[in-house]
Amino acid sequence: MILRAVLRKRAKAGILVEEEALMALAEPLTATIPTAPGRKPRDDELDLFGLTHPGKVRPENQDHFLLGTVNPQVVIHGTSLPEPDNLPLRGDRLATVMLVADGVGSGSAGGEASRLATESITRYVSSTLRCYHSVGSSAEEEFFDALRQAALEAHSTVRNEAAGRPDAPRMATTLTLGIAVWPWLYVVQVGDSRCYLHKDGVLRRTTRDQTMAQDLVDRGALPPERLAASPFSHVLVSAIGGEEAKPEVTRVDIRKRGCVVLLCTDGLTKHVSDEEICAKIDAMESSEHLCRELLDLALERGGSDNITVLAGRARKR
């Protein structure tokens, strides 16, 4: 069961700022839907875009990302029917998938880890995850468990690959996965890549960085204002393929048309603040425009790491 911490917070320049720790945005699984969900957006109403860039310093790009939709589909390999093209072979969209993975490791090991994790999650979502029907029901814990299991399978995949390669014993990656099943967004977090939700002019971070510095802040051993400058701010305590993977799953409401979901690796957030991300979303023309604007800003400020940005929204009617 996901527990929601009740934490003190304050609004500043349209940003939700946590004073003691990041807010866990998961709703209780027994919570009732406050308003009718309305019509689910059609595929042609989705505005999705993602890009990745090596930055200006790193010799290679170890980030990977994925954007996609999940649809039930029948592939006909033979039939006696006279007009098979008229059959309803492709069903209504079940989910939208957004994923970023930031590789950790020397040489090409980190890039391979993020690739393996992305491929593993894609296989799981397309072939194993079959409990979309439980979303929003009393059996929703089944879906939460399946999402945790997807992350743990990716963890095992990377660990097994590293075990068979003495030249690359340290292969790890972050993983931030968003699966939108109308009217909810489920977010799986391992590491310190991030997911944000922008709604009604307010930007909320839906993930908690799994770093040593954030743990120190949560325990009261480090003041929140010193977190970004801490030498432990990018030391991961949880990673796919690392010593331990501790997937955290949260759920947020995305029924409001025009709300924006943004996923990114820390190559963006090292250079661009939450306030600046919020301002760019306020001025966005499209998801592509937003991603390119944020990338350009990070590159202007040095581009010290690989940069990956994904954005998605359902256009307003």
> DSSP letter string over 200-247?
TTEEEE-S---BHHHHHHHTTSS-GGGTTT-TTTT-BSS-BTSS----
Per-residue pLDDT for 308 more than 80? yes
Burial (CB count within 10 angstroms: exposed 0-12, middle 13-18, buried 19+), residue 257: middle
Element (H, E) at 285: none
pLDDT in tens, 220-231: 999 999 998 899
What was the pLDDT predicted at 125?
87
Closest CA to 312 of 283, 291, 296: 291
The more confidently predicted of residues 309 and 2 is: 309
Q: What is the pLDDT of residues 93-104, one digit of tens each?
A: 889 999 999 999
Helix (H) or strand (E) run with residue 275 in it: helix 274-282
Q: How confident is the model at residue 269 (pLDDT cuts 50, 70, 90)?
A: very high
Helix axes of 274-282 and 287-300: crossing angle, nearest 10 degrees? 140
Neighbours of 69 (CB within 10 A): 13
Q: Are 25 and 254 in contact (CB under 8 A)?
A: no
Whether residue 107 contacts residue 168, with contact meaning beta carbons closer than 8 Å, is answered with yes
Q: Where are the domains of the chain?
A: 9-27+37-69+90-314
pTM: 0.85
- The percent of residues in the chain predicted with pLDDT above 90, rounded, is 64
Distance CA 239, CA 211 (A): 10
Q: What is the dihedral of CA 220, 222, 225, 228, to 10 degrees?
A: -130
pLDDT digits (tens, 9 = 90+) for 23-75: 333 343 333 344 556 789 999 999 999 999 999 999 999 999 999 998 877 77
Q: Does domain 9-27+37-69+90-314 have CATH number 3.60.40.10?
A: yes
Residue in 179, 193, 194, 196 with CA at minimum distance from that of residue 260? 196
pLDDT of residue 143: 87
User: Can you tell me the mean pLDDT for 112-125?
Assistant: 95
Three-class SS state of 295 = helix
Q: What is the spatial distance between Cα 227 and Cα 216, in angstroms, rounded to a whole number?
A: 9
Does 152 have pLDDT greater than 50?
A: yes
User: What are the residue ranges of helices labelled H in 75-135?
Assistant: 109-123
Q: What is the pLDDT of residue 2?
A: 32
Asked if residue 290 has pLDDT above 60, the reply is yes
The pLDDT assigned to 16 comes to 46
Residue 293 and residue 296: Cα distance in Å, rounded? 5
pLDDT at position 127, please?
A: 75
Q: Which two tokens stand for residue 183?
A: 């009217």
* Average pLDDT of the chain to the nearest whole number: 85
Task: Choose the weakest-confidence range: 73-77, 86-90, 202-206, 281-285.
Answer: 86-90
pLDDT above 70: residue 291:
yes
